[in-house]
A and B are shown apart, each in its own frame.
Chain A
């Protein structure tokens, strides 16, 4: 049996003060390191700061902070015969995978007018029979506005309406463009690209790059898009001005009543030297493209009660066979979506978001 530990030997008249100071210093050092890592002393740009800027001081409780207005959509994905050559992900071999998706417009207003939203978006959650998930959030713009989250924040600040005029300050926009010249081609796209009259004939682009690995172990840098099977139909400026605020969801439901709506999933492979980790740089048009499958939407549900409400469409949730690139926008999207999700789920979970949660009597 063990015996009680011998008690301390006779003290050698040593002062405990130096030892105590040493212990205090060690503990203080570790605590300071922890606080530094946790950003207590300020560590540059954080996802919280970007989310605050997106909220612009007036978040709508329980709603997504960006691309706030949308509807849940149900559907499925069927891979093409070529898909397994791109990635060994189960989603590319399973004959059909259910989709829990969301169609939306950009902006932070849950009641924003569809005819004023330059950017439209779609988010997909595909869960295969082995439990793996592929989440992606895609937009109607062909490339991201800037290369870095710092640029994204600068754009948000520069394009915020001036309280005096209600419009962005041209001087601030000019200064932003000087610092982030890559944003020029995005603004040109926003000005000149034709508007389509439906979500169904809108092309959605993943914009960020990912790495695919196939069963042979071959790795490729890729980007993906949803190319609509529905024919493009123009929406003129006059039609936009006269359109109902919710025309996109109304039109989509009417279309679904006649049959499913489909997109081709087009995967583009980078050539050597293409900018992989910069979402603001499109790849040349001649890059190899493969139709990896078909996305089919069959029904919608309002987002306040639909299954997409409590989903964070984090684009870094990927199945085995797909990996994120080192694109800083991709990592930043994961970080900012997480903050937005935590805030809105907290508001819903603590009863502060009757409208977003579709509760009776909530004011519209």
Chain B
């Protein structure tokens, strides 16, 4: 349960860990598709990181439903409240969708889904060019949507921190150990 208007420790840990992982994934993905030298190396990172994000977002969603986040400031304009809620659920949706589409896309392309060493995952979609032709571009388009949403999220967080100074940023940045945001 969040107390003192802060996210709980698990929520904060998952948030910052996954923030780093997702940013890394976006940069790895953007780089590996245009690189002649680094594709195999980056792909070897991209697959296990993606599956790790999928597992972590499950934990995160369960935790969020069990331990609701602190409410937004009462004086936040309705449009900003709506944007906050919509973008958060969009982020959750993409955190699930991107690894699942990546996994399905490799399945549809007939690729083995190697995590590390001899450890690999089964296909979750039929080997089909029709499906691959749909999923491969979807993975790219949604990656741009995710990147844009992450940027918007970061911009809004900094707006709360530096312009509104309303405690929203510190509710995720720090624990609620009695500190009151100035």
Contact = CB atoms under 8 A, between A and B. Distances in A.
Q: Do A and B come from one complex?
A: yes
B127 A30 contact: no
Contacts of A131: 112, 120, 122
B93 interface: no
Interface in A7-48: 7-9, 16, 19-20, 22-24, 26-27, 30-31, 33-34, 37-39, 43, 45-48
Given A37-B31, A312-B109, 9 more contacts: A5-B71, A33-B27, A38-B31, A47-B39, A133-B112, A338-B33, A341-B109, A342-B136, A349-B132
B34 A48 contact: yes
A106 interface: no
Contacts of A26: 154, 158
Nearest to A38: B30
Interface in B57-102: 70-75
A331 B39 contact: yes
B166 A7 contact: yes
A19 B159 CA distance: 8
Given A23-B158, A23-B162, A312-B111, A331 B38 contact: yes
Task: Name the 9 nearest CB pairs between A and B, nearest first.
Answer: A349-B133, A320-B118, A38-B30, A39-B34, A19-B162, A349-B129, A7-B75, A335-B39, A348-B129
Contact of A22 (B38, B118, B162): B162
Given A2-B2, A8-B164, A19-B163, A310 B112 contact: no
Nearest to A341: B109
Nearest to B6: A2
A24 to B, nearest CB: 8
A320 B122 CA distance: 16
Interface in A267-290: none
A43 B117 contact: no
Query: Among the interface residues A48, A131, A311, which one has the most CB atoms of the partner chain B within 10 A?
Result: A131
A335 B33 CA distance: 7
B182 interface: yes
Nearest to B30: A38
A125 to B, nearest CB: 9
A154 B44 CA distance: 29
A58 interface: no
Contact count band on B:
35 or more
11 contacts: A3-B5, A26-B158, A34-B26, A34-B27, A38-B33, A149-B36, A317-B112, A317-B114, A320-B118, A332-B36, A349-B130
B164 to A, nearest CB: 6
A4 B73 contact: yes
B37 A319 contact: no
B40 A324 contact: yes
Interface-central residue, B1, B36, B118, B151, by most chain A CB under 10 Å: B36
A304 B30 CA distance: 32
Contact of A311 (B33, B110, B171): B110
A45 B36 contact: yes
A331 B36 contact: yes
Nearest to A344: B129
Given A34-B30, A131-B120, A5 B40 contact: no
A8 B129 contact: no
Given A2-B2, A2-B71, A34 B110 contact: no
B168 interface: yes
A345 B136 contact: yes
B54 to A, nearest CB: 19
Contacts of B110: 310-312
Contacts of A319: 118
A264 to B, nearest CB: 26
B112 A132 contact: yes
A20 B158 CA distance: 9
Nearest to A320: B118
Given A2-B3, A133-B112, A310 B162 contact: no
Given A5-B73, A7-B166, A345 B40 contact: no
A338 B42 CA distance: 14
B34 A47 contact: yes
B165 interface: yes
Given A5-B166, A316-B40, A348-B129, A43 B34 contact: yes
